[in-house]
Amino acid sequence: MSEERVGVYVCHCGSNIAGTVAVEEVSQWAAGLPNVVVSRDYKFMCSSLGQELVEKDIKELGLTRVVVAACSPHMHERTFRATCERAGLNPFLFEMANIRELDSWATDDRVAATQKAKAMVSAAVRRVIHHQPLQLLPVTINPNTLIVGGGVAGITAALEIANAGYHVYLVEREPSIGGHMAQLDKTFPTLDCSACILTPKMVDVAQNKNITLLSWSEVEVVEGYIGNFTVTVRKRARYVNEEKCTGCGICIDKCPKKVVDEVFEAGLGYRKAIYRPFPQAVPKYPVIDTASCIFFQRGKCKACQMFCPTEAIDFEQQDQILKLEVGNIVLATGYDTFDPRRIPQYGYGRLANVFTSLEFERMVNAAGPTGGRIVLRDGVTTPKSVAIIHCVGSRDKNYNEHCSRVCCMYSLKFSHLLHERVPDAQVYEFYIDIRATAKRYEEFYHRVLEEGTRFIRGRVAEVTDAARLPGEEGKLIVQYEDTLVGKQRRLPVDMVILSVGMEARRDSREVAQIFGLGCEYNGFFIERHPKLDPVNTMTEGIQIAGACQGPMAIPEAVAQGAAAAARVLSLITQGTVMMEPVRAHIDAEKCSGCRICNNLCPYNAIVFHEDRKVSEVITALCQGCGACVAACPSAAIMGAHFTDEQVMAQIEGMLWDVQPQIAMTATGAE
Partner 1 sequence: MTAYATTARAPTFLEEVIARTPGEPHLERCIQCGTCGGSCPSGADMEHTPRGLFALINAGLREQALCSNTPWYCVSCYYCTVRCPQQIHITDVMYTLKRMAIDEGYYTESTARDAPEFSKTFIDFVESNGRSFELGLATAYHLRYRPLNAVGMAPMALGMLRRGRMDLTPTKIKGIKQLQAILNKAKELGGVK
Partner 2 sequence: MDNSYEPVIVGFLCNWCSYRAADLAGTSRLHYAPNMRPIRVMCSARVEPQFVLKALREGADGVLIAGCHPGECHYVDGNIKALRRYELLKRMLRQLGIEEERVQLVWAAASEGNVLADAVNRMTEQLRRLGPLRWRETVLGGDGQMTEYSSEKVSKEV
Partner 3 sequence: MKYGYYPGCSLERNAAAYHQSAMAVAGPLGIDLVEIDDWNCCGATEYFSINLLPAYALVARNLALAQDQGISDQLVAPCSACFLNLTKTDRYMADSPQLAADVNEALAAGGLHYTPGSVRVRHLLDIIVNDVGYDVVAAHVSKPLTGLRVAAYYGCLIVRPGYGGIFDDPEHPTVMDKLLRVLGAEVVDFPLRAQCCGGHMTQISQEVAYEMIRRLLKNAADYEADVIATVCPMCQLNLDAYQANVNQFFKTDYMIPVLYFTQLMGLAFGASPLELGIGKEFVDARPALSKIGVAVPSNGTPRKAGASKEALPMPRLEEERS
| 501 φ/ψ angles, rounded to the nearest 5 degrees | -85, 180
Residue 397, binding choice from partner 2, partner 3, partner 1, none, Cβ under 5 to 8 Å by partner class: partner 1
74 touches partner 2 (CB under 8 A): yes
| Helix/strand/coil percent split, the chain, to 5 | 30, 25, 45
Q: Which span sits near partner 1 by CB under 8 A: 69-77, 136-144, 482-490, 546-554?
A: 482-490
**Span from 13-21, 395-403, 438-446, 531-539 in contact with partner 1 (CB under 8 A):** 395-403
Instruction: Decide if residue 180 touches partner 2 (CB under 8 A).
Output: no
In the list 107, 163, 208, 241, the residue contacting partner 2 (rule: CB under 8 A) is 107
Cβ atoms 418, 425 nearer than 8 A: yes
Q: Closer CB to partner 3, residue 88 or residue 379?
A: 379
Number of CB atoms found within 10 A of residue 321's CB: 11
Q: Are 147 and 332 a contacting pair, CB within 8 Å? A: yes
Residue type for 647, please? V
**235 or 373: CB nearest partner 3:** 373
Please name which of 256, 262, 260, 263 lies closest in space to residue 294, comparing C-alpha atoms. Answer: 256
**Beta pairing partners, 313:** 240
- Environment class of residue 393 by beta-carbon count within 10 Å: exposed (0-12), middle (13-18) or buried (19+)? buried
Window 40-59: residues binding partner 3 (CB under 8 A): none
Site string for partner 2, 246-285 (x = CB under 8 A): ----------------------------------------
**Least distance in Å: CB of 536 to partner 1?**
33
Binding mask 362-391 for partner 1 (x = CB under 8 A): -----------------------------x
Q: Does 268 bind partner 3 (CB under 8 A)?
A: yes
- Per CB under 8 A, contacts with partner 2 among 635-654 are 639, 642, 644, 647-648, 650-652, 654
Task: In angstroms, give the least distance from the CB of 394 to partner 2.
Answer: 18
Q: Is 461 left (phi over 0), alpha (psi -120 to 50) or beta?
A: alpha
Number of residues that bind partner 2 (CB under 8 A): 62
Contacts of 670 (CB under 8 A, 6+ apart): 1, 2, 34
Task: Quote the DSSP letter at residue 495.
Answer: E
When the beta carbons of 78 and 350 are compared against partner 1, the nearer one is 350
Name the strand (E) or helix (H) holding 392.
strand 385-392
> d(Cα 423, Cα 426) in Å, to the nearest integer?
8
8 Å CB contact between 11 and 101: no
Quick check: 119 binds partner 2 (CB under 8 A)? yes
For partner 3, the binding residue among 241, 370, 598, 659 (CB under 8 A) is: 370
Q: Residue 457 binds which entry of partner 1, partner 3, partner 2, none, with Cβ cut-offs from 5 to 8 Å by kind?
A: partner 1
- Span interacting with partner 2, options 264-272, 313-321, 396-404, 509-517, rule CB under 8 A: 509-517
Scanning 39-47, 95-103, 432-440, 564-572 for contacts with partner 2 by CB under 8 A, the matching segment is 95-103
> Per-residue contact track with partner 1, 293 to 332, x per CB under 8 A?
----------------------------------------
Nearer to partner 3, 469 or 662 (CB): 469
Single out the residue of 606, 625, 646 nearest to residue 539, CA to CA: 625
From the list partner 2, partner 1, partner 3, none, partner contacted by residue 652 (C-beta under 5 to 8 A by kind):
partner 2
Q: Is 618 a residue that touches partner 2 (CB under 8 A)?
A: no
CA atoms within 13 A on the CB side of 257: 20
x/- site string to partner 2, residues 208 to 237, per CB under 8 A?
------------------------------
- Binding residue for partner 1, selected from 25, 465, 482, 580, defined by CB under 8 A: 482
Element (H or E) spanning 645, and its range?
A: helix 644-654
Return d(Cα 404, Cα 402) in angstroms, integer: 6
- Per partner kind, with CB cut-offs from 5 to 8 A, the member of partner 3, partner 1, partner 2, none near residue 631 is partner 2
DSSP string, 279-323: TT-SS---EE-TTT-HHHHHS---HHHHH-TT--B-TT---EEEE
Using CB under 8 A as the binding rule, whether residue 506 contacts partner 3 is answered as no
Q: At residue 447, what is the residue type? A: R
Among 254, 257, 302, 377, binds partner 3 (CB under 8 A): 377
483 and 492 in contact (C-beta within 8 Å)? no
In three state form, how does the secondary structure of 57-89 look? Answer: HHHHHCCCEEEEEECCHHHHHHHHHHHHHHCCC
Question: Which position among 179, 327, 383, 458 is part of the footprint of partner 1 (CB under 8 A)?
Answer: 458
How many Cβ atoms sit within 10 Å of the Cβ of residue 55?
Answer: 19
Burial code of 95-127, b = ≥16 C-beta within 10 A, e = fewer? bbbbbbeebbbeeeeeeebbbbbbbbbbbbbbb
Binding residues for partner 2 (CB under 8 A): 72-74, 98, 100-109, 112-113, 115-116, 119-120, 123, 509, 512-513, 516, 518-521, 526, 538-539, 582, 596, 600, 602-603, 623-627, 629-633, 639, 642, 644, 647-648, 650-652, 654-655, 658-660, 662-663
Binding residues for partner 3 (CB under 8 A): 260, 267-270, 341, 343-345, 348-352, 356, 369-370, 375-380, 464-468, 474
Binding residues for partner 1 (CB under 8 A): 345, 391, 395-398, 432, 457-462, 479-483, 486-488
